[in-house]
Structure 1
């Protein structure tokens, strides 16, 4: 809820946060892949525009399902093929596909992220974060992506939510015995 975020102030249907105003609640839907390899390293790159280390991901196109967007973004950005890991709650598996309903993979988180953009205008990303694994045929990622050990994440210019998501991924694999 906007009122609960202290750094955001509402004024005349505008949101102000540090570096400019924006129309209230302009949202872009995005999908991000948290990918950890067998060595416990995370696939990240230093985003040129933002200057942060981030996992692969991007905007969901019109009429595209989020899990397809994450596959596409990972392939486009890294040259690697991946699959979404289904790690939903037990009760969700009771919902069955039918002729009118399809159960989509659950993201490990859905984040609402403020994006300061002087060119396109400030906006929000509704970011569906998926746990993904690389397919066996995958090779080395395209530059600038690289594998970063978990214990090195804190040394990078990286958003705290990415570090927290990496902890969630590590806990998932710990519970899976991996």
Structure 2
């Protein structure tokens, strides 16, 4: 069920730009060729789940410890986990915040897929990244000692300027479509 639902959600995405259009095509082609697309150990190409964390203080980003770039929280999908659950778990682990999905869940309890990006993930991996919008509240992040300590809330403009290329288009889109009273401090 999860892989079929994932395929359907990705295929239904209206891409924000050429990068996402290419990512959707690559994602669907790769997904169809993988025996275990959610298992990072089964193949170097696999699905990951990421969280675009927003709140009254703006957008939360962290500097990836190995890659040295500013990104959204996210990571690999654990056994018996969905990509959207991985996004929620990873955001909680990497930020120390009690995050929650920022929009309604559908009848199956699934949040809206807001972005797709296929990129190199380091160590020879290719990540088929699915992204979900999470509400981070307004608390200060408090990641555990083994997570990146370079983390913080940024205004939308700061986050867009700072973020990796693969994240900018979704941040720019969200900034332009979301109400300033619910997500933004411009």
| TM-score bracket, shorter-length normalisation | 0.5 to 0.7
Question: Which residue in the other structure is 1:139 paired with?
Answer: 139
Cα distance change on mapping 1:177 and 1:62 into 2, 3 Å: closer
Determine if contact 2:51/2:131 at 8 Å carries over to the other structure.
yes
Question: Which residue in the other structure is 2:69 paired with?
Answer: 52
**Higher share in strand:** 1
Question: Which residue in the other structure is 2:15 paired with?
Answer: none
Provide the TM-score with structure 2 as the length reference.
0.63
Whose radius of gyration is greater, 1 or 2? 1
Gaps of at least 5 residues in structure 1 are 6-24
- Mapped to 2, the partners of 1:87 and 1:176 lie a distance apart of 18
- 1:164 pairs with 2:182: no
Name the SS of the counterpart of 1:33 in structure 2.
strand
Name the SS of the counterpart of 1:153 in structure 2.
helix
Gaps of at least 5 residues in structure 2 are 1-21, 27-42, 143-148
Q: Deviations over 1:61-94 (max 9, x none)?
A: 1210222212211111111011112379xxxx6x
- Mapped to 2, the partners of 1:33 and 1:68 lie a distance apart of 10
> Which among 107, 111, 114 is matched to residue 105 of structure 1?
111
Cα distance change on mapping 1:64 and 1:154 into 2, 3 Å: closer
Cα distance change on mapping 1:87 and 1:71 into 2, 3 Å: same
- 1:38 pairs with 2:56: yes
Q: Deviations over 1:104-127 (max 9, x none)?
A: 22210122112342xxxx121111
Residues 58-73 of structure 1 mapped to structure 2, 5 A cutoff: 58-73=75-90
Cα distance change on mapping 1:115 and 1:140 into 2, 3 Å: same
